[in-house]
C-alpha cells in the first residue's frame, strides 16, 4: 500500500511541473513586454525594478523560470499588480469560502445523486427510472449561472427566503452563513448531482445483474440490505471517481456562481484577476487551483486502493 502511494505521488510530480510551466509561460504570451503585462502601462521605476528582481527578467528564460518556481516553492506567489497585496495571502483569505461552497455542493450531490441513482436502477425501465433519466439530463444541461439567476429571482427577490448576495463567515455566525450559502450551493451542486446520479444508476445496474446479487436475492435478503450492504459497496468506486473529478471542476465552476452571488472566494478572485489583467494574481490562482486538482485526484486514487485492494497501479 505504502509503495503504491509513494509511486502515485511520484507520478503527480511531472503534472505539477507541467502546470507550473503552463502558468509561467502563459504570461509570456501576453503581447508586449512582461513588465507592462504585469504592471500595466502606468508604473513607477521602483516597481519595475522590484518586478525585474522578482522574476530575474534580465536573465535567460530558464533561469527566470527557476527563480520563479523557487519563489513559488517557498510560498511566495508574487504581488497583485492591481492591489499590491500578496497573492498567497489573498488566496488563503478566500479559500474557506470556496471550500465551503464546494463541500455543500458535494454534500448535496451525494445526498441527492446517490439515492436517486440507486432508486432508478432498482426500478429499472419503470417510472422512477424514466423520471431520473430526464432529471439527470436536465441537470447536466441547465447552466449553473442561469439556475443561480432564477434562484435569486424566485427565492431572494420574490419569496425573500435568502439574501441575493453577500457572505458571512461560518465561524462568525453559522446560521447566517448557511442562510447565505444554501442557494449558491444548490445552484453549483445541481449539475454534479445529475452526474453522480447517472453514474450511480449505470454502475448499480451493472452490479445488480451480477450472480452474487441474484444469490443474495434468492436467499431472501431484504431489498434495503441488498442495495446498501452488497450493491452500493461494489458500485462505490466509479461513484467516488466521479465525485473526485467533480470536486476539481467545482473549484472551477465556482468562478461563475461566486460571481452571481457575490461570494468572496477563489473563483471570484481569479475572475477579478482576469478582468483586471492582473497577471501575477491570475498566475497564482491558476497554479493553486491546478495544484488542488492534482492533489484531489491523488487522494481519490489512494481512496480507491483502500476501497478495492485489488486495484494496483
Partner 1 sequence: MKEIWYRFSKNKLAMTGLLFISCFVLIALGAGWIAPFDPYALGTEMLGKPSIHHWLGTDQLGRDILSRIIYGARISLRVGVIAVGVALLIGATMGILAGYFGKWVDAIISRITDVLFSIPDILLALSIMAILGASTTNLMIAIGIVYTPIFARIARSAVLSIKSSLYIEAARSIGVGHIRIMLKHVLPNIMAPLIVQITLSFAFAILAEAALSFLGLGAEPDTPSWGTMLNEGKDWMESAWWIAVFPGLAITIAVLSFNILGDGLRDALDPKSNKH
Q: Catalog residues that contact partner 1 under the rule CB under 8 A.
A: 14-15, 18-19, 21-22, 26, 29-30, 124, 133, 137-138, 140-143, 145-146, 149-150, 152-153, 157, 202, 205-206, 248-249, 251-253, 255-256, 259-260, 270-271, 274-275, 277, 282, 285-286, 289-290, 293-294, 297
Cell 503534472 -> residue: 15
Which residue, 64 or 272, has its beta carbon nearer to partner 1? 272
Closest CA to 108 of 37, 181, 157: 181
Question: Are residues 195 and 248 in contact, defined by beta-carbon separation less than 8 angstroms?
Answer: no
CB of 270 to partner 1, least distance (A): 6
**Which residues partner with 79 through β-bridges?**
86
Cα 147 from Cα 184, distance rounded (Å): 9
Which residue, 15 or 69, has its beta carbon nearer to partner 1? 15
Which residue, 227 or 282, has its beta carbon nearer to partner 1? 282
Cα 150 from Cα 190, distance rounded (Å): 13
CB of 13 to partner 1, least distance (A): 11
Query: What are the grid coordinates assigned to 2, written together?
Result: 505504502
CB of 49 to partner 1, least distance (A): 25
CB of 160 to partner 1, least distance (A): 12
The alpha-helical segments, DSSP class H, found in 123-231 are 127-141, 144-151, 174-208, 211-218, 223-225
Which residue, 232 or 255, has its beta carbon nearer to partner 1? 255
Which residue, 145 or 170, has its beta carbon nearer to partner 1? 145
Number of Cβ within a 10 Å radius of residue 135: 17
- Sign of CA pseudo-dihedral 89, 72, 25, 20: negative
CB of 12 to partner 1, least distance (A): 9
Cα 138 from Cα 147, distance rounded (Å): 11
CA atoms within 13 A on the CB side of 251: 24
CB of 209 to partner 1, least distance (A): 8
Which residue, 22 or 215, has its beta carbon nearer to partner 1? 22
Query: What are the grid coordinates assigned to 212, written together?
Result: 452474487
Amino acid at each position: 500500500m505504502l509503495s503504491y502511494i509513494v509511486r502515485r505521488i511520484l507520478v503527480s510530480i511531472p503534472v505539477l511541473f507541467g502546470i507550473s510551466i503552463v502558468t509561467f509561460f502563459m504570461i509570456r504570451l501576453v503581447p508586449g513586454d512582461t513588465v507592462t503585462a504585469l504592471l500595466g502601462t502606468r508604473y513607477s521605476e521602483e516597481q519595475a525594478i522590484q518586478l525585474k528582481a522578482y522574476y530575474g527578467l534580465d536573465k535567460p528564460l530558464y533561469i527566470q523560470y527557476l527563480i520563479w518556481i523557487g519563489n513559488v516553492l517557498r510560498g511566495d506567489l508574487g504581488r497583485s499588480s492591481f492591489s499590491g497585496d500578496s497573492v498567497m495571502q489573498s488566496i488563503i483569505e478566500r479559500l474557506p469560502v470556496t471550500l465551503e461552497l464546494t463541500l455543500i455542493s458535494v454534500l448535496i450531490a451525494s445526498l441527492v445523486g446517490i439515492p436517486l441513482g440507486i432508486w432508478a436502477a432498482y426500478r429499472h425501465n419503470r417510472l422512477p427510472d424514466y423520471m431520473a433519466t430526464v432529471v439527470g439530463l436536465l441537470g447536466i444541461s441547465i447552466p449553473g449561472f442561469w439556475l443561480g439567476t432564477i434562484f435569486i429571482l424566485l427565492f431572494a427577490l420574490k419569496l425573500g427566503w435568502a439574501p441575493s448576495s453577500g457572505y458571512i463567515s461560518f465561524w462568525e455566525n453559522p446560521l447566517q452563513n448557511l442562510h447565505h450559502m444554501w442557494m449558491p450551493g444548490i445552484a453549483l451542486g445541481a449539475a454534479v448531482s445529475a452526474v453522480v446520479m447517472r453514474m450511480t444508476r449505470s454502475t448499480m445496474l451493472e452490479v445488480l445483474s451480477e450472480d452474487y446479487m441474484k444469490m443474495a436475492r434468492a436467499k431472501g435478503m431484504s431489498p434495503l440490505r441488498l442495495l446498501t450492504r452488497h450493491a452500493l459497496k461494489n458500485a462505490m468506486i466509479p461513484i467516488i471517481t466521479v465525485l473526485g473529478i467533480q470536486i476539481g471542476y467545482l473549484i472551477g465552476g465556482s468562478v461563475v456562481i461566486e460571481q452571481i452571488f457575490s461570494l468572496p472566494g477563489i473563483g471570484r478572485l481569479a475572475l477579478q484577476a482576469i478582468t483586471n489583467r492582473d497577471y501575477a494574481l491570475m498566475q497564482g490562482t491558476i497554479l493553486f487551483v491546478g495544484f488542488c486538482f492534482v492533489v484531489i485526484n491523488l487522494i481519490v486514487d489512494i481512496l480507491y486502493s483502500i476501497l478495492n485492494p485489488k486495484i494496483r497501479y
